[in-house]
Amino acid sequence: MHAMMGDVRLLPDQSEVRATVLMEFIIDKLKLLSYERDFCFSRKPPWPRLHKLYFALPAHNRNEQFLYFINITSWLLRIIGRNFETPSEADDPNTTCTNISVELRDLGFAPPSWPPAKLKQGHGDAVCSVLDGLTSLALEIRKFQFQPPQNPCDNYPEESPKLGNDRVETTDELYVPDSEDAEASRVDEFTPDLDERKSSDSSFVVRSNVDPQKWRLELERVAPQLRVSVVADGKDWRAHLEQAHKLEGDMLASLTSNQDQLERVEMDVTSALEKLESRENFINAQFEPLAAEYAAVKSQISGIQEKHRRSLENVANLTQKLSQISDQLDHVKQLMVEKGNVISDLSPLVLMKSTTQKLKAEIRDMELQNGVLKNSLLQT
């Protein structure tokens, strides 16, 4: 559901929420695959490290975001064992997205509900789904298994009570008596006999036969020799609380001592800002005529540039027409030269003259033969 106020969207849609959640898993799995060492430093300059919203939301440079997606997808496919060549910036994005979809289908992924062209955005639910599936498969190929979490045991030492007026000291070793047998006998001496007082009733009262005076004297003798080993642990909440109180006191003391100085700095900064604002207004007032003149000159330059552009277009058109006319003129000149050559050629006349002479000679021979035949006929 979207809550809208005017044109401003207040709540993200479900796809952006899902992409944000998937992006966190993707970064964790990429770190397990050592992408910072194996992928980021595979080019110069190195690829930037991903943050939790890189592929979930659109980036300022969409081309760089899409290029990052196809390169890291190619790297994951090579880890899985696919011979997928890394696309370049000059390749068609639609072809690249289709090739990635074909590789996913060959790996056995279910057909997605979105078209392959949605990957061209370089961000969103589709991109995060592809990366999540490929990273999971890459971890499976490398036989990575998640181990159950191991919670450290919080065994913090307990505070020792104060005995009498003696202060309990902290050392690294426990006090060990010189004679264990003597201590054991002394303990047995002051230990009440519980076996004699046990009964079937669970609410019996334990009573001691030790003299209180002897117990007090023994306590005074043993108390100075007690040593308690307390290991300083940074996880102890008491140490954190004490450190927080100490820092709070230091901050309050520093704030009290530096309050006047901070107020003077605030006044100086405010005064400087006011001076800068007044100076800015003065400069704007001084340069307002020049700005108007600049705007007018810029408008004139724009008009002149427009005329120059039109003139260039006319020159280009006229140049094209001149080229066409020149081609036509060259063609006409070639035709005229060919016709002139045909007109000035005398070879047909010479051929006709020689042919006429041959005809005349043949006619004379035929007339001579006719005369001989007539004479022969008349004589017979």
What local confidence, expressed as pLDDT, does residue 197 receive? 45
Q: By three-state DSSP, how is residue 228 classified?
A: strand
Is 94 within 8 Å of 120 (Cβ atoms)?
A: yes
Backbone angles phi, psi at 86, to 5 degrees: -70, 120
* Torsion angle (degrees, nearest 10) of CA 358, 361, 366, 367: 140
H helices present in the chain, as ranges: 14-32, 35-38, 62-80, 93-106, 125-141, 180-190, 212-222, 237-344, 347-379
Tokens linked to 360: 């005349």
Query: Could you tell me which residues come within 8 angstroms of residue 103 by beta carbon, excluding any fewer than 6 positions away?
Result: 77, 82, 84
Q: What pLDDT digit, counting tens, does each position of 216-265 carry? A: 888 888 877 776 655 555 567 788 888 899 999 888 888 888 888 888 89
What local confidence, expressed as pLDDT, does residue 125 receive? 87
What local confidence, expressed as pLDDT, does residue 232 receive? 55
Q: How far apart are CA 26 and CA 136, in angstroms?
A: 9
Backbone angles phi, psi at 100, to 5 degrees: -65, -40
Task: Count the neighbouring beta carbons within 10 Å of the beta carbon of residue 98.
Answer: 15
Burial class from Cβ neighbours inside 10 Å (0-12, 13-18, 19+) for residue 236 reads: middle
Domains of the chain, by residue range, sit at 11-141, 167-192+211-227
Asked whether the bond before 111 is cis by omega within 30 degrees of 0, the reply is: no
Backbone angles phi, psi at 248, to 5 degrees: -60, -45
Q: In this structure, is the dihedral angle defined by the CA atoms of residues 275, 281, 284 and 285, taken in order, positive or negative?
A: negative
How long is the chain? Answer: 380
**b/e per residue, 105-136, with b = 16+ CB within 10 A?**
eeeeeeebeeebeebbbbbbbbbbbbbbbbbe
DSSP 224: G
pLDDT of the chain along its 380 residues, tens only? 333 333 334 345 677 788 888 888 898 888 888 888 888 888 888 888 888 888 888 888 888 888 898 888 988 988 888 888 888 878 888 888 888 888 888 888 888 888 888 888 888 888 898 999 899 888 888 887 777 766 665 554 444 444 444 444 443 434 444 444 444 444 444 444 444 444 444 444 556 677 888 888 888 888 777 766 555 555 677 888 888 999 998 888 888 888 888 888 999 999 999 999 999 999 988 888 888 899 999 999 999 999 999 999 999 999 999 999 999 999 999 998 888 877 777 787 888 888 999 999 999 999 999 988 888 888 87
Q: How far apart are CA 313 and CA 366, in angstroms?
A: 80
What local confidence, expressed as pLDDT, does residue 379 receive? 84
Q: By three-state DSSP, how is residue 171 classified?
A: strand
- Assign 3-class secondary structure to 324-371: HHHHHHHHHHHHHHHHHHHHHCCHHHHHHHHHHHHHHHHHHHHHHHHH
CA atoms within 13 A on the CB side of 249: 5
What local confidence, expressed as pLDDT, does residue 242 receive? 86
Is 42 within 8 Å of 35 (Cβ atoms)?
A: no
Classify domain 11-141 at the CATH topology level: Actin-binding Protein, T-fimbrin; domain 1 (1.10.418)
What local confidence, expressed as pLDDT, does residue 331 receive? 92
Q: How far apart are CA 82 and CA 78, in angstroms?
A: 5
Q: By three-state DSSP, how is residue 296 classified?
A: helix
Considering only CA atoms, which of 88, 168, 118, 167 is closest in space to residue 15? 118
Is 115 within 8 Å of 169 (Cβ atoms)?
A: no
Contacts 24+ apart (CB under 8 A), 149-157: 154/235, 156/233, 156/235, 156/236, 157/228, 157/229, 157/230, 157/231
